[in-house]
Amino acid sequence: MSRNAIVKKSKKLIGTSRSIVKRRVTPSDNFFGGAVVPFVEGSPVTDLISGPVYQQYRGGEYVHVSDLLYSCMRKVALSDKLKTPIHSRPIYDSQGITFAQGEAIHSYIVGKAVRQDPSIVYGNWTCNCGKHVITGTKVKADREGTCGACNSPIHRYREIVVTNETYKVSGSIDLVLVPNGAIYPVELKSIKKDSWEELARPVPEHLSQVLMYWFLLREAGYNVHDKASIVYAVKEMVMKNPFKEFVIKPSELMDRIQVYLDLARELVLYREIGQLPNRIGGCYAPDSKDAKACQFCTICFQL
């Protein structure tokens, strides 16, 4: 039996427990008869799941904060100009597992914050089917009862997204608290034990990220607290508090994000008048490491 045939048949088993029971007595499945069938050689599970998946660049009208911090705006402009999508990024299994750990840790932290005080956790709350969305605290979502379409509570947390029209930037904030009638943005990070033990101050890019969120919130007209937090969780077992929190005063650090706002503005200008953004520092020549890794390297240095 070929691998594709195995995968095709295995998919038939996916479903609710009730549907699986029904399928067990359906003769058309041809899984019954009491025979012991020789299996193909190899490792069926790892053969099935091994290999990279590919993450597409988000694109769109607004540049996400994380893309602004880590991507080249000239590259984004050239993608627009040439009508050529930016190459998808391969996510290898070890990376994917690490990312999944981070997502699980983030969910744990948000979930615990909700349980501790649902009156100050602010977000987009949805039902199971996603048709019913409430923006506000968990207490507000609970007052809505259940969704009329799927009859589930409005209990699933989704991050608040803030956009800015001047810079065409958007940001999705990991955790938003609203004590005392104002927003307190929190950036959540999870890192390996050695790095966590050595951490004495926020990673500069993470600091810039939460500063950008605070800036976007203030520009959008929200009441914001004069402080924000970056919380680091350790990804391994430690016999002490597994969190390190750095509380910052964004108003004193706004100069750190001016370079990113300038980059965002360059992309806006390109879309308005066709002027390409400047190259970033690592692309000082066509044979530089960063330039050679870019799909638009040749055309970039011709323009």
Tokens (6 digits) for 56 = 């597409």
Asked whether residue 21 carries a pLDDT value surpassing 90, the answer given is no
Separation of alpha carbons 199 and 230, rounded Å:
12
Flag whether pLDDT at 4 surpasses 60. no
What confidence score (pLDDT) does residue 210 get?
A: 98
At 197, the pLDDT band (50, 70, 90 cuts) reads: very high
List the structure tokens of 72.
């080249």
Q: Tabulate helix, strand, coil % of the chain (nearest 5).
A: 45, 20, 35
Residue 222 has pLDDT above 70, yes or no: yes
The residue to which tokens 């390297």 are assigned: 297
> Which residues, in sequence order, are CB contacts of 223 under 8 Å at separation 6+?
181, 182, 183
Q: Which amino acid is at 279?
A: R
pLDDT of residue 17: 43
Quickly count: other Cβ atoms within 10 Å of residue 51's Cβ: 10
Q: For strand 133-137 and strand 228-234, is the pairing parallel, antiparallel, or unpaired?
A: unpaired
**pLDDT number for residue 29:** 65
DSSP sequence for 212-224: HHHHHHHHTT--B
Q: Which residue has tokens 């509570």?
A: 153
Instruction: With a cut of 80, say whether residue 194 has pLDDT above it.
Output: yes
Per-residue pLDDT at 57: 92
For residue 35, give both structure tokens. Answer: 């025979």
Whole-number CA gyration radius for the chain: 24
Looking only at the bridges linking them, the beta strands covering 156-158 and 121-126 are antiparallel
Q: What's the pLDDT at 59? A: 87
**Beta partners for 188?**
231
Q: What is the pLDDT of residues 88-125, one digit of tens each?
A: 999 999 999 999 999 999 999 999 999 999 999 999 99
CATH number of this structure's domain 59-91+159-260:
3.90.320.10
- Is residue 20 pLDDT above 80, yes or no? no
Per-residue pLDDT band for 7 (boundaries 50, 70, 90) equals: very low
pLDDT score, position 236: 93
pLDDT at 14: 42
> CA–CA separation, 210 vs 11, rounded Å?
42
The helix-helix angle for 258-273 and 73-82 (nearest 10°) equals 20
In this predicted structure, the answer to whether residue 28 has a pLDDT above a threshold of 70 is no
At 5, is the pLDDT very low, low, confident or very high (cuts 50, 70, 90)? very low
The whole-number pLDDT of residue 40 equals 79
Residue type, position 130, single letter: G
Q: Give 198's pLDDT tier (boundaries 50, 70, 90).
A: very high
- The conformation of residue 180, written as its DSSP 8-state character, comes to G
Residue-level pLDDT at 285: 93
Size of the chain in residues = 303
pLDDT tens-digit map of 134-191: 999 999 999 988 998 999 999 999 999 999 999 999 999 999 999 999 999 999 999 9
| CA–CA gap between residue 99 and residue 243 (Å, rounded) | 18
Cβ neighbors of 139 (< 8 A, separation 6 or more) are 118, 119
Q: Which residues make up the CATH 3.90.320.10 domain(s) of the chain?
A: 59-91+159-260
- What pLDDT is recorded for position 41? 81
Q: Which residues, 6 or more positions from 2, have their beta carbon under 8 angstroms from its beta carbon?
A: none
Task: With cut-offs at 50, 70 and 90, classify the pLDDT of residue 56.
Answer: very high
CA dist 114 and 118 (Å) reads 5
Rounded CA-CA distance 96/102 in Å is 10
Phi, psi of 265 (to 5 degrees): -65, -35
226-284: pLDDT as tens digits: 999 999 999 999 999 999 999 999 999 999 999 999 999 999 999 999 999 999 888 99
Quote the DSSP letter at residue 181: G
What is the C-alpha to C-alpha distance for residues 136 and 120, in angstroms, rounded to an integer?
Answer: 9
Instruction: Answer yes or no: pTM beyond 0.75.
Output: yes
